Structure 1
Amino acid sequence: MLFNLFPRELLKEFEPFSVLRKYPAGKKVLKEGNLNTWLYFIVRGTLSVNVEGNLILKLRRKGDLFGEMSVISGNPCSATVIADEEVELLALNTTTIKDSSEEKFVNLRATLYKVFALILSDKLYLTTLKAKEFEKSSVNLENFQKKLMAAQIKLKELEAQLTQTGKLTAFGKIAAGISHELTQPLFDIKHLAEGVIEDWSETPTKLNKHKIEQVLQRANHVLQLLNIWGSLAGMHET
């Protein structure tokens, strides 16, 4: 808790410049772009810190401080702080403390600057940790992208294989159909030709028989090839 950074005797000195405030849920405590001279300590509740409408972090620890960056720099607030629920805050007006030359205010300023230094150191440490996490995440993302590219290449190869398989399957089915349609007619032709040639004994007929046998052999060879394609089609389907 940041309250612990303040000596008890100095905390009493802050009382004239402090006020306990309650904010309902949805109320903006600080608005991005507005000037601010107040420091806020969380007594109770949770707040959201947003930059350009994007949530950056949640403040929920009792004693957490916000508003210090605009007080230190004198620049407008760089974020909007909104109450997520009803919150109770100890608000400290720094105008008098920063501008007065009285000794007690000098001591208060010294304490404030000590607190500011510790806060900035803590935020720098957290930022460094986040930077390391981001660097690690970037490396993991790069590795993932490489794996994704490799997977995409593999997917294209598989798509090409599936396309080729589809073509083979379609061709095989056609081949099987043709083979089925031709097998019986060729068998009938062969059977009929053998019967006719057996009845004739002339030499020309024997020559014709030889030619018929050659044609039938070629036809059978074609049918065998068609059957092979049909078998390949069945293999690709399974």
Structure 2
Amino acid sequence: MKEIPFDPHDRETLARLQQMPVFGAMDEERLSKVLGMATLRRYEKDETIIREGDTDQTVYFLIMGSCSVDVEGVKVSSISEIGDMFGEMGIIDKQPRSATVRPEKPVLCLVLDSHFMERMEGVDKLAAEALFYRIFSETLAMRLRAANARILFLEDKLKESTREHPWR
């Protein structure tokens, strides 16, 4: 992993980040303050970004590349869209990581630790907290809907298998 300080005055990168839902809702001044607390991390293929069972409170935003998400060694998902967020559950519930995330090819992520909100003040802090928790909630709701659909699909497959092979 290679860590690079984020330059919040880099107009090109700011414009790109403002295309992401979480950052696009912020005005430029507030965005600069938040991003001034961020770093960029580049990971090579097969490095571990997040390890299942570890405890930390860091959230990642994918800028480039794609990652696999594994639970107990089984791939359950991919992260591949620019702006995809991962790691937010550690900030929300402060529990150990529920999955391992590894690059499938080199990736670049914007990284914030949970303390960035504590370092903000006044209205900026309230606005950032509200925005991030709204985005966290939307992301978790989408993942819950996808998990529910997968559960229903697997239950149907199990019923189908039981009908075809009732002796099992």
| Range into which the TM-score falls when normalised by the shorter chain | 0.7 to 0.9
Contact 1:40 1:67 in 2 (8 A): yes
Deviation at 1:99, TM superposition (A): 6.5
State the match for 2:165 in structure 1: 145
Displacement of 1:100: 5.2
One-letter amino acid of the counterpart of residue 8, structure 1 = M
Q: Which residue of 1 aligns with 2:91?
A: 71
Match of 1:81 in 2: 101
Corresponding residue for 2:26? 8
Equivalent of 1:21 in 35, 41, 56: 41
Q: 1:17 offset after TM fit, Å?
A: 1.4
- Aligned residue among 62, 68, 72 for 1:48: 68
Q: CA deviation at 1:96?
A: 3.0
Q: List alignment gaps of at least 5 residues for structure 1.
A: 150-238
Which amino acid in 1 is paired with 2:21? N
Candidates 75, 94, 100, aligned match of 2:114: 94
Q: Please, which runs of 5 or more residues in structure 2 have no aligned partner?
A: 1-16
* Higher fraction of strand: 2
- The CA distance in 1 between the partners of 2:99 and 2:57, in whole Å, is 14
For 2:55, the equivalent position in structure 1 comes to 35
TM-score normalised by length of structure 2: 0.78
1:84 shift after superposition: 1.5
User: Following the alignment from structure 2 to structure 1, what is the Cα–Cα distance between the partners of residues 164 and 33?
Assistant: 57
> Structure 1: which amino acid aligns with 2:54?
N
Instruction: Pick 1 or 2: higher relative contact order, CA cutoff 8 A, min separation 6.
Output: 2
> SS state of the match for residue 160, structure 2?
helix
Change (3 A) 1:99 1:14: closer
Aligned length: 147
Q: What value does the CA root-mean-square deviation take over the aligned residues? A: 2.1
**SS of the residue 1:26 aligns to:** coil
